[in-house]
Amino acid sequence: MLPMKNLALLCLLLVTTSVLAQQPAADDASFVPLFNGKDLTGWKTTGNWLVEPDGSISLHPREGEKGWQRYAAYLSTKKQYGDFVLDLEFKINAKGNSGVFMRVGDLKDHVKSGFEVQILDTYGLAKPGHHDCGGIVHGTGPSKNMVKPAGEWNRYTITVQGRRVKVVFNGEQVIDTTLEAMNMADRLALGHIGFQDEALRVWYRNVRIKELK
């Protein structure tokens, strides 16, 4: 029998390995970049989304823009996706707000025709809910608050397969649920991926996808 100290170390190693296995490696060839690092080919928007010199994508709100019900200003894929793993990094300023939308059926209303993994400056919040960072808006909150302080990069790995949705947030699985459990049974099995324009600065990088059979 292993000494208690060695047994504890073994358990810690197994837990760590399990968590890390949920996030794809940076050189995983099964993933395809969704941005080419030069322009917004493959995407559509009327918002002021720009490609930065380092290849990241950022939103520069124009003067007078405000609110979230400007769906045409969201940055949305032209292609529609069904089952997939979406891996990306994001960064926001203090009081920042954005969101990652999946399976959007109607680009005139992302909220009602898709579902959103929230991006919000809720660092330090003890009990995050569905509208806090890492939660699925109007669906379920994350099991744990994993968002970093404003100005730091965060990572989402979002798996959508059939009616099941999983979210790994900065190395921790925080959501494993179904659309039915979130009262979203009417959401389509195929739709666009989109990033929300809340008229607040937000940055995305290393956005890539693996489609599942």
The candidate with the shortest Cα–Cα distance to 196, out of 95, 128, 78, 111, is 111
Given a cut of 60, whether residue 145 has pLDDT beyond it is yes
Q: What is the pLDDT of residue 26?
A: 87
| Span 26-42, pLDDT tens digits | 889 899 999 999 999 99
Phi, psi of 160 (to 5 degrees): -120, 115
Q: Per mean pLDDT, which range of 2-6, 16-20, 105-109 is the poorest? A: 16-20
CA distances from 166 to 11, 22, 173 (A): 24, 10, 7
Contacts of 211 (CB under 8 A, 6+ apart): 32, 81, 82, 83, 84
* Residue length of the chain: 213
In this prediction the pTM is 0.89
Is residue 100 within 8 Å of 88, Cβ to Cβ?
yes
Q: 26-211 has which CATH code?
A: 2.60.120.560
| Span 78-129, pLDDT tens digits | 999 999 999 999 999 999 999 999 999 999 999 999 999 999 999 999 999 9
